[in-house]
Structure 1
Amino acid sequence: MPCAVARGEYTARYVARSSSAVVKAPVDLVQVRRQLTQLADRGCVTELIEHVLGWLTQLTDAHHALTLRLQTALRALYGRKSQKVSSQQLSLWLTTLLDADEAPASQLPEAPPDDAPPEKGEQAAPPADPPKPPKRAERAPLPAHLERHRERLTVPASERVCGQCGRDKACIGYRTSEVLDFIPARFIVVEQQREKLACPRCPEQGVSTAPPDKVMDRGRPGPGLLAKLVVDKFEDSMPLYRQAQACARSGVVLSSSTLGDWTAFTLDLLAPIAARITERVLAEPYLRTDDTGIPVQDRKHPRRLKRGHLWVFVGDHLASFLYAPDWKAKHPAALLQPFQGFLQGDGYAGYNAMLRQSTHSAPSLSEERRLGCGMHIRAKFEKAAKLGDLSAAIALGYFKGIYLVEAECKARGFSPEQRHAYRQAHAMPLVDALFQWVRETHKTLVPKTPLYEATFYAKGQEAAWRRCFSDGRFEIDNGEAERQLRKIAVGRKNFLFAGSDKGAERLAIGFTLFRSCSLQGVNPLLWATDVITKLQRGWPRSRLDELLPDAWSKAHTSDATAVGVAAS
């Protein structure tokens, strides 16, 4: 039967996805030749073309997919981790789109105004003065609290005699300059001489001895040494074997196992404070959360190493961490059972499972209390743009304008009510335009391409992200939780894995304590030394709130200022 003559032009993409006659591209080229020869002998030119185009399309799709995977892997291995896109780069992409006629000018986002109009009741700012020539950078003064040693330097003997009269020069003063030096930390031994009392008249009464003032009954470390161990591990990401090497350089030989025992003891001692921090965090009305993986040794696992997860929950003043042996939603759901506020996170599928654990149970996290993250949505468009799909620059342009609105709110110190009103006037039109473009563009994209995945993710997160603009208290992204996880990422590269589930739980305790110190700008070494000392001496459990970093910071403001505390 003669084949029908093709009408119109067929593209490879159309033929591959619309023609039912296309078969899977064979691997054997001999088979390809045989099939094409048979079609040519029968005069089926159209069917022959469709077969060839179909095979070429499938091979092209496979090649394109492998190329994207390779580019993604190379970018993850060698590329920059930052997701920032400069204004110049974004402008170049948008200009390229216009020049190529790939996007009409009406679809491109308008550049947000540099100067927002003043609010009602505000006075317009006076015109800016002409720019002044840049001044030479001056050195910042050294902190006043540092210990100072005075050292007097004399003029060389060859210059102490006047070259004109030959008499000795007189000292008329000193020119002072400062040199910043460092004296290595040192170990000290505290000899505790415990008083012994006995009655010389009644020897049968025995001897009374003062109790020892020690943190560990059978150990010799003091509170300062224990504080240094945990601060070095959780703030400076220094594994214990490196700490043992540093101790050896000071002449004190301590094994890694000994330091591990002392660290575990310290974290168990501080565990009630971490538990109280978690209670405080879950009582807040607004939390941001995220998770990251951590290798954990497990003898039952085929590779003796499994992937656990550390979850972070960030409130206004404190941060809490939870260890979970796997990525199942039941672990954060169990922790969030008493939580009644708004939770901000990414598109983790487990949040949907947390909405209702069973048909008879109440939702662990209702849909109305979920907030999305603009950073996660934007990251997928940034990835698509850097992988070569410049149409993603349109979405990045809208995000640029939205974040400029956020920056303006913070620069002007708006209250939550003022920020909400300003967002509704300036940010929401950009949000509406962004998602209109997302919906229209998504229909035209080829599945499994980076831009398709970006628009698909954006559509699924639209409702959750729009809720971020409903209240001025909410941030539009989950950046704070991401920043808290950076310390874990650095530590993971250094100490590689946790020795057990119990060890990973202790990691969660340590990060809870010292990430909360970081949020409060508290010197972690001073805080840990003071708190360990107080707990050692029987601090009452009813007053644990006084030892939490926020309360401790208020009570020790002068001490914190004296040591130049700065948040990490």
Structure 2
Amino acid sequence: MRSSKTAMDNLKSMLVVPLSVTAAVTDDVIELPKQSEDAVQIDENLAPQFILAFCLAHGRRKFFEIFKFFDKECDFVLDIIGQVYMHDAHCKSKKYTPDQRLFYHQTHSAPLMQTLFLWLNNQLVYDLTEENNGLGQSVKYMLRNWRMLTTFLRVAGAPLDNNWAERAIKIVIRHRRNSLFYRTSHGAQVGDCLMGIIYTCQQNNVNAFDYLNTIQRHAISVAANPDLWLPWNYKQNVAELPELAQAA
């Protein structure tokens, strides 16, 4: 039986840590990293280092939460943002490149967002809503962060929201809660590695139980060539080795 230290090394080699900053899509499109986040206060000294893309879903949520009080106004906003998301889904289904996606949004989503901007602006300019009520606060939020909320109309590859990052954070938070019951720090460390592996399997539509059993059966091969036994390519190696296929 292999030592726990070796097993830990095997697990560590396969741990995938999600990044909070998305790398440039291509060097000729974007030279700076993009950071998608909620509309929080940004240090002016740090801002030039990033292309800021605020979360459009958070802007939408502010109107969704007050829908029962301002149904007509919120329905207008939600409908426009919904169409923008439909356009983004179309780009994903067609597997557009970042440049193709940008052109599609500029053609189809930019007019919608311009209409929304004028509507939001008119709500305050012509006193169509009280600026301190729920609707007014939501309108001011959108206008205050408009440029960052519409980065996807100017930068190839910029996301509409950061929902993927929030989903990843929830996995970590859930694990932190469960970690209160680990008896030792070593046990918690093993749990951290397992969390990363299981989440990586989930993101690659791989059965985590099958994957973990397979790499334990063939720990020697995994230690020798860990890059060939990752969640997204381990089945190919199992199929190529008859003895492994029988064991699996």
TM-score normalized with structure 1 length? 0.35
Question: How much has 1:376 moved relative to structure 2?
Answer: 0.9
Match of 1:341 in 2: 33
Matched, 1:271 2:12: yes
Evaluate the alpha carbon distance shift between residue 455 and residue 284 of structure 1 in structure 2; reply closer, same or farther with a 3 A threshold. closer
Question: Which amino acid in 1 is paired with 2:213?
Answer: T
Q: Deviation of residue 525 (structure 1)? A: 1.5
1:462 and 1:479 map into 2 onto residues whose CA distance is 19
Question: Is contact 1:286-1:474 (8 Å) kept?
Answer: no
TM-aligned CA deviation for residue 475 of structure 1? 2.9
Structure 1 pair 344–555 and aligned structure 2 pair: CA distance change class (3 A): farther
1: CA distance between counterparts of 2:212 and 2:64? 41
Report the residue type matching 1:425 in the other structure. T
Q: Aligned partner of 1:433: which letter?
A: T
**Cross-structure match for 2:200:** 516
**1:418 aligns with one of 77, 96, 100:** 100
> 2:66 corresponds to which residue?
384
Match for residue 116 of structure 2 among 434, 437, 450? 434
Whichever residue aligns with residue 426 of structure 1, its letter is H
The residue number in structure 2 matching 1:450 is 134
Which whole-Å CA distance do the structure 2 matches of 1:554 and 1:345 have between them?
37
Structure 1 residue 375 and structure 2 residue 48: aligned? no
Q: CA deviation at 1:497?
A: 6.5
In structure 2, C-alpha distance between the alignment counterparts of 1:441 and 1:544, rounded to whole Å: 58
CA displacement, residues 298-319 of structure 1 (integer Å, 9 cap, x when unaligned) = xxxxxxxxxxxxxxxxxxxxxx
Q: Secondary structure at the match of 1:384?
A: coil
Question: Structure 1 counterpart of 2:159, which letter?
Answer: E
Q: Is the 8 A contact 2:63 2:78 kept in 1?
A: yes
The one-letter amino acid paired with 2:70 is: D
- Do residues 466 (structure 1) and 150 (structure 2) align? yes
Partner letter of residue 165 of structure 2?
Answer: A
Contact 1:520–1:553 (Cα < 8 Å) also in 2: no
Does 2:26 correspond to 1:285? no
Cα 1:496–1:452 shift into 2, 3 Å: farther
Secondary structure of 2:232's partner? Answer: helix
**What CA distance in whole angstroms lies between the structure 2 residues aligned with 1:508 and 1:460?**
39
Residue of structure 2 in register with 1:298 after alignment: none
**Aligned length, in residue pairs:** 231
Asked whether 1:527 is paired with 2:219, we answer: no
Q: Would the alpha carbon gap of residues 505 and 451 (structure 1) be closer, same or farther in structure 2, given more than 3 Å must change?
A: farther
- Superposed, 1:478-493 pairs within 5 Å as 478-485=162-169, 487=171
Instruction: Provide the C-alpha distance between the structure 2 equivalents of 1:510 and 1:453, rounded to a whole number of angstroms.
Output: 43
Q: Cα deviations across residues 223-256 of structure 1 (Å, max 9, x unaligned)?
A: xxxxxxxxxxxxxxxxxxxxxxxxxxxxxxxxxx
Matches for 1:288-299 after TM superposition, within 5 Å: none
Q: Which amino acid aligns with 2:200?
A: S
Structure 1 gaps of 5+ residues are 1-212, 218-264, 288-339, 357-362, 563-568
Report Cα offsets for 1:483-521 as digits up to 9, x if no partner: 4455567778xx667358968776654432222111111
Residue 521 to residue 283, structure 1, CA distance change in 2 (3 Å): same
Instruction: Please tell me the root mean square deviation across aligned C-alpha atoms, in Å.
Output: 3.9
Question: Equivalents in 1 of 2:118, 2:188: separation in Å?
Answer: 45
CA deviation map 1:67-93 (0-9, x unaligned): xxxxxxxxxxxxxxxxxxxxxxxxxxx
Q: Could you tell me how far 1:375 is from its partner in structure 2?
A: 0.8
Preserved CA contact (<8 Å) 2:35 2:50 = no
* Contact 2:84–2:109, Cα closer than 8 Å, also in 1: yes
Instruction: Give the C-alpha shift of residue 385 in structure 1.
Output: 1.2
- Cα distance change of structure 1 residues 556 and 453 upon mapping to structure 2, 3 Å threshold: farther
Deviation at 1:342, TM superposition (A): 1.4
Partner amino acid, structure 2, of 1:465 = L
Cα 1:537–1:476 change in 2 (3 A) is closer
Distance 1:510 1:369, change over 3 A: farther
Question: AA paired with 1:285?
Answer: A
CA distance in 2, matches of 1:347, 1:507: 33
Correspondence list, 1:26-425, <5 A: 213-216=1-4, 270-274=11-15, 277-278=16-17, 285=23, 341-349=33-41, 352-353=42-43, 356=45, 363=46, 366=48, 368-386=50-68, 388-390=69-71, 391-425=73-107
Contact kept? 2:60, 2:78, Cα under 8 Å: yes
Q: Rate the CA distance shift 1:517–1:423 in 2: closer, same or farther, 3 A.
A: same
Superposed, 1:17-28 pairs within 5 Å as: none
Give the secondary structure class of the aligned counterpart of 1:285. Answer: coil
C-alpha distance in structure 1 between counterparts of 2:175 and 2:104, whole Å: 40
Q: CA, structure 1 residues 371+282, in 2 after alignment: closer, same or farther (shift >3 Å)?
A: closer
**Are 2:20 and 2:35, in contact at CA under 8 Å, matched by a contact in 1?**
no
- Quick one: structure 1 residues 556 and 347, their matched pair in 2 at CA, closer, same or farther if it must change by over 3 Å? farther
Q: CA deviation at 1:381?
A: 0.8
Aligned-pair CA distance for 1:452? 2.3
Distance 2:152 2:75 in 1: 23
Higher-RCO chain (CA-CA 8 Å, sequence separation at least 6): 2
Structure 2 counterpart SS, 1:385: coil
